Chains A and B, each alone.
Chain A
Amino acid sequence: MKKLKSFLTNPQTVTGLVILVIMLGLAALAPVICPGNPLFSVGKPLQAPGGDFIMGTDYLGRDVWAMLVWGSRISIIFAFGASLLSLIVGIVLGALSGYIGGWFDDLMCRIFELFYIIPRTFLVILMVAFFGSSVGLMVIIIGITIWPSNAKIMRAQVLTLKSRGYVQAGNVAGGTKLGILFKHIVPNGMGPVLSNSILQMAQAVLTEASLSFLGLGDPNRASWGLILNAGQKHINSAPWLVIYPGIALALLLLAFNLIGTALHKTLNVKQAAME
């Protein structure tokens, strides 16, 4: 409890949570704040910020503020979707790997190593280019490329917890192996995996933004990367197109990193698999 209080009152966490709540608010209230499709042209192209459009318009006369508000939805979907997928896959495979051991563990460890080596953004780009860029598919692709660090942490947790007294007691009491693993060991080893998951949210958001920036995003959904992609071509004449969505992106990444690092410190986790 004391730990929880120190985590929640720490200035880093507070800053992170405030930013995150604002972003969640924007995402949830997008239809109220900016009604209508943000991808429709509503004004003259490349209008500077001010007047009707507080963040100006892009080359098609679309309201940058509206795209930014709606774009927060995409970022939030990726943050939670991809990290949740990674969390589930990571926990299950990591726990089994640590508990079963043997050839399965060897195989898993090789896979962790492989994922550590492969340029991840590159792999995601490759898969999106080959398989398509709908939001659902991209969430899955990002999720399945980031799970190994969760699994690695969970595996280490299971290895240390396996020999604890209460686990032995469960064994003696005649619990099934899987029951003990997922009812007793995994819940007790969740802390570091959760803090890693928050850091992974930042990774997922950044990967999505990078993909959209490179022109691999879903062109039918407003996202920050999409505005940046268009903005890059007009950086000389319309710098507002790259300034605002970039600030939003950096703030959201900062929020996840602040909360994740603070949780890391509270739980006293050694820097495990940040990359």
Chain B
Amino acid sequence: MKFGKYVLRRLLQMVPVILTIICLCFLIIHLAPGDPATIMAGETATDEYIAELKAQFGLDLPLWQQLLIYVKNTLQGNLGNSFLLKLPVSELLAEKMKVTLALVLLSEIIAIVLGTLLGMTAAKHENRIQDHIISNLSMVLYCMPAFWLGMMLMLLFAINLKWFPTSGMQSFNTPLSPLMDMLHHMFLPCLTLSLIRIPTYLKLARSSVVEVAQEDFINTARAIGYSERVVYRKHALRNALLPTVTQAGMSLSTLFNGALLTETVFSWPGMGRMVYDAIAGRDYPVIMGGFLVSAIMVVVGGFITDIIYMYLDPRVVAE
């Protein structure tokens, strides 16, 4: 019962946040130089279409009524039409989001696993050569701009060695099965995103394992005679994972930023690439929709993380 109450409270907390994000978008549209109707319709729009938009979004009404209409439209999934592709933004986003999520989630899982393992290794050998090598490499990776790392990997593995395709998600005339073909295309963008995300998890795992290793229960486990392997795998890791879960939940926003740039480099046909094309064509409804949807996904991601956290650490509910 307590769990149910907690979930409900967290759900309700999401409402004002989402409303604020929508209001922020409204604010940007209205503060931007130029007429909101033209911004939403595009400079090449016909007068008819502008009139239709004005009616739909009530652009002749007082500002507060416009805001209400905007919020209502957004909540109903009406994000306007892309004026480059002549399609509703929500439809486009729904399709592209799947492609982005496939890339982003897979990369994040790889980064979490590798980052945590490397962080534990570094912590086990704290201040020794292994730790220095791992920590310094991690620092270098942390400073690497995602899009540049992507281009370097592309240069090496796709252009020089020709092991992987340079762009896209599928190719014609391939002996591979559709799934294998997609994975083949996904390899480099996924590697890029994983590599830049590894340092975050590595640092986190390293510092929490170092901290946990000084706790009494670890000494107790050692005194009982458990092997170092068991002490680290079973006791230290488990406690060290809590901050990792929190971090993973908060990472969605970083992930969307990374995806935007990485998808652009590899022409991965997801949301990031679509927003990039929209930037080039000043397709404002698409840029706005991309921002709105990713911000809302981050809020939802935070909610899901909290629920997972609740199962890992039931003390949360009691507080």
Contact = CB atoms under 8 A, between A and B. Distances in A.
Contacts of B144: 250, 253
A23 B142 CA distance: 20
A275 B254 contact: yes
Given A129-B284, A235-B159, A117 B148 contact: no
Nearest to A252: B143
A140 to B, nearest CB: 13
Contacts of A132: 33
Contacts of A266: none
Nearest to B280: A215
B261 interface: yes
Given A118-B295, A122-B294, A232 B254 contact: no
Contact of A125 (B139, B250, B279): B279
Contact of A214 (B250, B276, B284): B276
Contact of A254 (B143, B288, B291): B143
A101 B111 CA distance: 40
Contacts of A209: 145
Contacts of A176: none
Interface in B66-119: none
Contact of B147 (A116, A125, A213, A236): A213
B287 interface: yes
A118 B282 contact: no
Given A130-B39, A250-B144, A258-B139, A213 B261 contact: yes
Contacts of A121: 257, 260-261
Interface in A217-246: 228, 231-232, 235-236, 239, 242-243, 246
> B-side binding surface: helix, strand, loop or mixed?
helix
A126 B279 CA distance: 9
Interface stretch (B1-9, B53-61, B150-158, B174-182): B150-158
A122 B290 contact: yes
Interface string B24-43: 10001101110000010000
A166 interface: no
A32 to B, nearest CB: 28
A117 B299 contact: yes
B284 A130 contact: yes
Contacts of B305: none
B17 to A, nearest CB: 7
Q: How large is the interface on A (under 10, 10 to 19, 20 to 34, 35 or more residues)?
A: 35 or more
B257 A122 contact: yes
A162 interface: no
Interface string A131-156: 11000000000000000000000000
A35 B42 CA distance: 41
A117 B303 CA distance: 12
A132 B33 CA distance: 9
A184 interface: no
Nearest to B160: A239
Nearest to B204: A271
A106 to B, nearest CB: 12
Interface in B119-149: 139-140, 142-145, 147-148
Contacts of A261: 139
Nearest to B282: A129
A246 B152 contact: yes
Contacts of B21: 114, 117-118
A117 B284 CA distance: 22
A117 B253 contact: yes
B148 A232 contact: no
Contact of B17 (A114, A127, A130, A254): A114
Contacts of B147: 210, 213, 228
Contacts of B256: 119, 122
A232 to B, nearest CB: 7
B279 A215 contact: yes
Minimum-distance CB pairs A-B, first 4: A246-B148, A130-B32, A121-B257, A119-B253
30 contacts: A113-B17, A114-B17, A117-B253, A117-B302, A118-B298, A119-B256, A120-B257, A121-B260, A122-B253, A122-B275, A125-B279, A126-B28, A126-B288, A129-B287, A130-B284, A131-B33, A209-B145, A215-B279, A232-B151, A236-B159, A239-B159, A242-B155, A243-B155, A249-B145, A249-B148, A250-B143, A250-B144, A253-B145, A254-B143, A275-B254
Given A118-B298, A246-B152, A250-B145, 17 more contacts: A114-B20, A117-B299, A119-B291, A122-B256, A122-B257, A122-B290, A125-B279, A130-B28, A130-B32, A131-B31, A210-B261, A214-B260, A214-B276, A228-B147, A235-B151, A243-B155, A250-B148
